Amino acid sequence: MDLSFKWSERPKPLGDILNEGHLPMIVKMHSDGKAKPIKEGTFDMNQPFLLFTNLKGVKLYAENVAGVDDTKSHRESKVNDTGPLMVIPLEYKGWFRIIDEENLPLKTIANVARLMPAVILSAKYVTAFCRLPPTSSRKQDIYDKVDLAPGTFSIQSIVEDYVQYMGSLGTVKKTLLRCLKCTSESGQEVLFPFDLDGEFYVVEAKKTKSKPLEKEQYSYAYTINTLVRMGTFTKPTRLKLLCGEPPSKPCGFTSILKVVDIVRDKTVVACTLSPDQKLLELPVTPFPLFQKATNEDLIEEKVVKEALRFLKSNADKYVCEIKVRTKVNLETKGKKENKPRPVTTL
């Protein structure tokens, strides 16, 4: 990196630096000249970072758990091992089930139709019929038989009729089906045959004046936001990720998470200035101390502009992802022991 940095003489907490300046800015962690050699495979905290945007929000801290059979009830399912700590922001778009609930998913569309909830989650790829957009030359409804990715679907009605769909050779076929007519998140009409096997969860029960079915008869899927609003994490909770992006950093992710804490914190999204740019969230805390680059013309340098473009393209998605928390040992002046400080990185 061919950049000449001029650092502020007095190191300060990150919050003070942010209050005194404006973003973006370049900082480095103050080391008192005692920076230790970087071990292979560890994240280098002794490098400059381009700070991009402040964040305030709620995050869930959870351990990646192995050895859990989530098909059993919570009385039979035991934790054999735990892995790295995961950080899940409130805005994460994935869907979870609570393992400690006794209920298991619905396995067929026929069972879903008996309940007729308002919204369901299909947690696995299934074969369904998606309605093709109409054309000026085609007046009848034509469907495409496709492998449908996991997602949520709003239930409209039960349909029993002949369905015309595109065959493998582009020919139109016709078959009599009894289906559950639904709408996807994108607004596309989807038909799920009654005999379709899968893994289905209730997202929203249909409001009705008739006597509702007991919740114990089926399993729900939740977002993190919903679980927090429900007050779920006032007791020990284990979750399974049903649908959503796993962490991008390799960590042996099992989809089973043991929730250990829920926090409201302040962080700042930053990027390394190295050729292999990496995003990270730095905690805005009294320790460690940082120094700011005082030569502000560095913002016009090519490597900094590239990092800024990278941040603008990826930061919004990054802040909504599940991340693996990395502990970095920082040596404090006048203390013998090392104090682990967590930093969230890609």
The 10s digit of each residue's pLDDT in 39-91 is 555 678 889 999 999 999 999 999 999 877 666 554 455 555 677 899 999 99
Q: How far apart, in whole angstroms, are the C-alpha atoms of residue 116 and residue 240?
A: 24
Amino acid at residue number 220: Y
Give the per-residue pLDDT at 346: 45
- Confirm whether 148 is domain-assigned: yes
Q: Is 17 left (phi over 0), alpha (psi -120 to 50) or beta?
A: alpha
Phi, psi torsion values for 57, nearest 5 degrees: 180, 180
Q: What is the pTM of this model?
A: 0.84
Q: How far apart, in whole angstroms, are the C-alpha atoms of residue 8 and residue 4?
A: 13
pLDDT tens digits for range 145-180: 999 999 999 999 999 999 999 877 778 899 999 999
- Confirm whether 238 is domain-assigned: no
* Helix, strand or coil, per DSSP, at residue 304: helix
Summarize the confidence of residues 235-240 as an average pLDDT.
92
Helix H or strand E encompassing 189: strand 189-193
Give the torsion through C-alpha atoms of 307, 312, 313, 318, to 10 deg.
Answer: 90
Contacts of 164 (CB under 8 A, 6+ apart): 140, 141, 142, 143, 172, 173, 174
Amino acid at residue number 106: L
Residues in the chain: 346
- Confirm whether 152 is domain-assigned: yes
Predicted confidence band of residue 284 (pLDDT cuts 50, 70, 90): very high
- Confirm whether 126 is domain-assigned: yes
DSSP letters spanning 92-125: ---EEEETTSS---EEEHHHHHHH--SEEEE-S-
Q: How far apart, in whole angstroms, are the C-alpha atoms of residue 169 and residue 167?
A: 6
- Confirm whether 182 is domain-assigned: yes
- Confirm whether 177 is domain-assigned: yes
Exposure of 39 by Cβ count < 10 A (0-12 exposed, 13-18 middle, 19+ buried)?
exposed
- Confirm whether 78 is domain-assigned: no
Indicate the average pLDDT of the chain.
86
For residue 98 the two structure tokens come to: 């609570």
For the cut 80, the answer to whether the pLDDT of residue 209 exceeds it is no
Q: How far apart, in whole angstroms, are the C-alpha atoms of residue 103 and residue 78?
A: 17
Summarize the confidence of residues 105-115 as an average pLDDT.
94
Number of domains in the chain: 1
Q: Please give the angle made by the CA atoms of 245, 249 and 250, to the nearest 5 degrees.
A: 100
- Confirm whether 285 is domain-assigned: no
pLDDT tens digits for range 7-19: 999 999 999 999 9
Using alpha carbons, select from 268, 231, 240 the residue that is nearest to residue 55: 268
**Domain housing 176:** 106-217
* Torsion over CA: 150, 154, 157, 163 (sign): negative
